[in-house]
Each structure stands twice: as structure tokens, then as C-alpha cells.
Amino acid sequence: MILRNSCYLPNKNSEAAKSMSGHRNIKRRCGESHLESPAGCGHGPAAGCVLSKLVQLPTPPLSKHQLKRLEEHKYQSAGRSLLEPLMQGYWEWLVGRVPSWIAPNLITIIGLLINIFTTLLLVYYCPTATEQAPPWAYIACACGLFIYQSLDAIDGKQARRTNSSTPLGELFDHGCDSLSTVFVVLGTCIAVQLGTNPDWMFFCCFAGTFMFYCAHWQTYVSGTLRFGIFDVTESMLCTIAIQLLTGTLGPWFWNYTVKRTLMLPGKQWHGLSRDSTFVMHIVTGI
């Protein structure tokens, strides 16, 4: 009996071992299947999948032909604006004070961030573009615009000065300019309280972006960036002046009612006109 029982013991142990190994194989296969399908592995992989979709670019990357065109691109400009010769001396002096180890793209991004920050101050105080912000907020926005305009003018000079001028750097510069255009127009609309007329506000925002697009579309077609008599430098200085006037006189200045006298033969008509856009009506006489 002892021998028979001893003979059967290995069989029982072998069956138990087979069942245990079977359970281990099933668990191993289940683990492998979970690794192969991230959606069923809990919240971690699923969250990673969602995050990868969020950071995915809305447009496909540049093709080989586009990369080649970008590498062969050379910056060319034509024409001069009215105030550019006067500002060139200041820009040359400013770029001479910048250390040579500072990258041109760093200059560009610093100017953009300053412009965005000072404009967001106005957005914080005037969320509907109908409120009145503290005077220092308008003056800070004017200073931010001047700093941005100065740094945007010297980043290319810094690139040529340090022999680091590349087509990709120009693309980065103009990309920051396109983003800054939105904040420049928005800050101007807030300064003149154009939120009281949403249609005009939309038109001004659309016009600023559309003009920037047309200028670069012309550059894309002709290969040359052309400047007019009244161009970016003049428009930026006018925007700075608007912010300074709003900070010193108040937003009501742009809604000021001016008495206008119209002289006709034998008659004199007096009227009131209200201008809620950028410039007051001028007292006229015919």
C-alpha cells in the first residue's frame, strides 16, 4: 500500500504542476494582450493617447520640396518707409549694446512675450473693450509695443552680426510677427473702447490680419518683401501714440463730441458729430 501510494503521488504532483503552469501561461498571455492594446490598460496609456492627439500639429510637416525651398530662400527687401531712415540710427545703436552671445531668436521671443503680457493687462481690465483701465496699463502697453518694435527691428541685425542668419530664423521671426499682429490690433481696439461697436472691432481685427497676410503672400509670389511710404514702423508708432494718448487723456478722448459748423450761402448750420473710431472729427468750415 505504501508503494502504491508512493507511485500515485508523482502523478498527483504532476497534475497540480500542470494546472499551475497553465494558470501562469494564461496570466502571461493576458498581460501581453494588455500591453498590445493600450486602450485596455487602465487610464495611463489612454491618457497618453489623448495627449498625443492634443499635441499633434494641425498641419502636416514640410515636404522635402518645401524644405529645399526654405533652405534656398534668401531675404530680399525693396523700398523704404517714411520714418525708417530716422529709426535706423537708433536700431544700430541698440544692436551694438546687445551681447554677441544672445541668439537672434531669443531677441524675437522676448519682444513677443513682452507685447503679449502688456496687452493681456488691458484685456484683464477691459474684457469687453468697453471698460476703462488704469492709466498705467495703457502706458505699459505703449512701452511694451515700443520694446517689441525695437527688438523686432534688431533681431535680423543681430543675426547678420553674429553670422547666424538662416531662412528658418526669418520664418520664426515672421511667425512671431503674425501672432503679435493679433495682440497689437486687440490692444488698440481696447484703448479706443471699440467694444461699443463690435462690427467695427471685428473689421479692424480682420483688416490687420488680412494686410499682414497680403504682404507675405506678395513676398511669396515675388520673392521680395516690399515696403511702402507708410508701413510697419509708422503704424506701430501710431499705435504707441494712441496708447499714450489714452493713458494721459483717458479713453473718453476717442468718443469726444466735436462741434462742427457748416457754412452755406446765407445760412449757418451747427451740428454735433460723434466719432467712435480712431480719430476725432476735425472742426471744418466751408
The residues annotated as belonging to the active site are 174
Q: What is the CA radius of gyration of the chain?
A: 33
Rounded Cα distance, 7 and 252, in Å: 106
Q: Are strands 77-78 and 225-226 parallel, antiparallel or unpaired?
A: parallel
Rounded Cα distance, 261 and 265, in Å: 13
CB count in 10 Å sphere of residue 182: 15
Residue with cell 531712415: 85
Which is nearest to 191 in space by CA: 241, 116, 257?
A: 241
Q: Which residues have a Cβ under 8 Å from the Cβ of 170 and sit 6 or more positions away?
A: 73, 75, 156
Which is nearest to 138 in space by CA: 124, 148, 153?
A: 124
Which secondary-structure segment (H or E) carries 60? none
Which is nearest to 145 in space by CA: 191, 85, 106?
A: 191
Do the Cβ atoms of 214 and 207 come closer than 8 Å? no
